[in-house]
């Protein structure tokens, strides 16, 4: 796993050294019992190191730093939420101890260091979790006073909703809940500059519903990894939208072909249509956000 991460993070440091690189930072398993997060992370990694044309384009333009397990001692011990010493690490981002929270301390130092590196632009931090009551995949984001920044923050989850039939934008929410102040998403959202976006990516422990479906579909290891592949692929859409990446793929590699390669998306409709279907279904189910 760590060897794979090294390949992803170092893949393109030798290319275009004079040009500022975009940086995406992903973490997972800060809560050790949330095992679906590992499969999503594996899907992201497997796709990024593959020979898929989209993955090759992403490696040419974006640096990915991935920490697939923030709480290894908790995972080893079979803990659900805490570390070996009984800490919920996702409440200690503000002032992690190098002794009591060593993985968090090290990762925070790395993120701060990279945010100050003039050679790179840290644009995304995504922390992957699993949710015990909600359906589908969805995101939590932050609240900003600047309305333009609020709108820009919504772009990535909207694009992901178009690519992943199991991702629900209507379940996605943006908040500044006080009890979440020590989480990675909240703390780094306040620490990094206004070109950076910090999210928590949640996925259901048990099932998802797609537009038009009447019954939930159980998640499997493969469908969790498929969501990870779709997360990775969405970065291409995002950076094409922001004119960092030109759509210069060969003509025989179209979006529909990309979706079939990654296993995601049904090619029907768009995110707006799915959002409306999500809302209607959740009203009938009494789902509260």
Q: What domains lie within the chain, and their CATH numbers? A: 2-285 (3.40.630.10)
Is residue 183 within 8 Å of residue 172, measured between CB atoms?
no
Question: pLDDT for 64-117, tens place per residue?
Answer: 999 999 999 999 999 999 999 999 999 999 999 999 999 999 999 999 999 999
Under DSSP, the state recorded for 91 is G
Catalytic residues: 202
Q: What's the pLDDT at 211? A: 85
CA 201, CA 185: separation in Å to the nearest integer? 10
- Residue range 149-177, pLDDT digits in tens: 889 999 999 999 999 999 999 999 998 77
Phi-psi region of 119 (alpha: psi -120 to 50; beta: other; left: phi over 0): alpha
Q: What is the pLDDT of residue 248?
A: 54
| pLDDT value at residue 213 | 85
Nearest Cα to 124, choosing from 29, 183, 188? 188
87 vs 82: CA distance, rounded Å? 5
Report the alpha-carbon angle 208-186-29, nearest 5.
50
Q: Which residues, given as ranges, of the chain have pLDDT below 50?
A: 1-17, 249-289
Q: What is the pLDDT of residue 19?
A: 67
Q: Which residue has the tokens 């499997």?
A: 220
Q: Which two tokens stand for residue 82?
A: 């805490």
181/187 Cα distance (integer angstroms)? 6
């Amino acid at each position: 796993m760590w060897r794979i991460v090294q390949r992803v993070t170092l893949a393109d440091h030798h290319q275009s050294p004079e040009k500022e690189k975009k940086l995406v930072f992903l973490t997972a398993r800060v809560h050790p019992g949330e095992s679906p997060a590992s499969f999503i992370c594996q899907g992201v990694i497997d796709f990024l190191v593959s020979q898929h044309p989209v993955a090759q384009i992403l490696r040419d333009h974006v640096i990915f730093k991935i920490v697939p397990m923030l709480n290894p001692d908790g995972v080893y011990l079979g803990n659900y939420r805490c570390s070996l010493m009984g800490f919920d690490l996702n409440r200690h981002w503000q002032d992690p101890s190098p002794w009591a929270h060593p993985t968090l301390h090290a990762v925070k130092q790395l993120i701060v260091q990279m945010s100050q590196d003039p050679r790179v632009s840290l644009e995304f931090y995504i922390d992957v979790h699993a949710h015990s009551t909600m359906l589908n995949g969805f995101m939590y984001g932050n609240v900003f006073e600047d309305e333009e920044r609020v709108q820009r923050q919504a772009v990535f989850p909207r694009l992901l909703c178009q690519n992943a039939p199991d991702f629900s934008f209507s379940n996605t929410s943006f908040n500044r809940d006080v009890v979440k102040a020590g989480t990675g998403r909240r703390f780094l959202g306040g620490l990094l500059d206004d070109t950076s976006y910090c999210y928590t990516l949640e996925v259901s422990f048990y099932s998802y519903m797609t537009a038009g479906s009447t019954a939930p579909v159980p998640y499997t290891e493969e469908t969790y990894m498929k969501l990870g592949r779709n997360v990775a692929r969405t970065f291409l859409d995002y950076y094409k939208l922001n004119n960092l990446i030109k759509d210069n793929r060969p003509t025989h590699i179209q979006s529909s072909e990309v979706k079939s390669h990654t296993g995601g998306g049904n090619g029907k409709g768009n995110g707006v249509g799915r959002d409306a279907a999500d809302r209607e279904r959740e009203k009938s189910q009494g789902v509260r956000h």
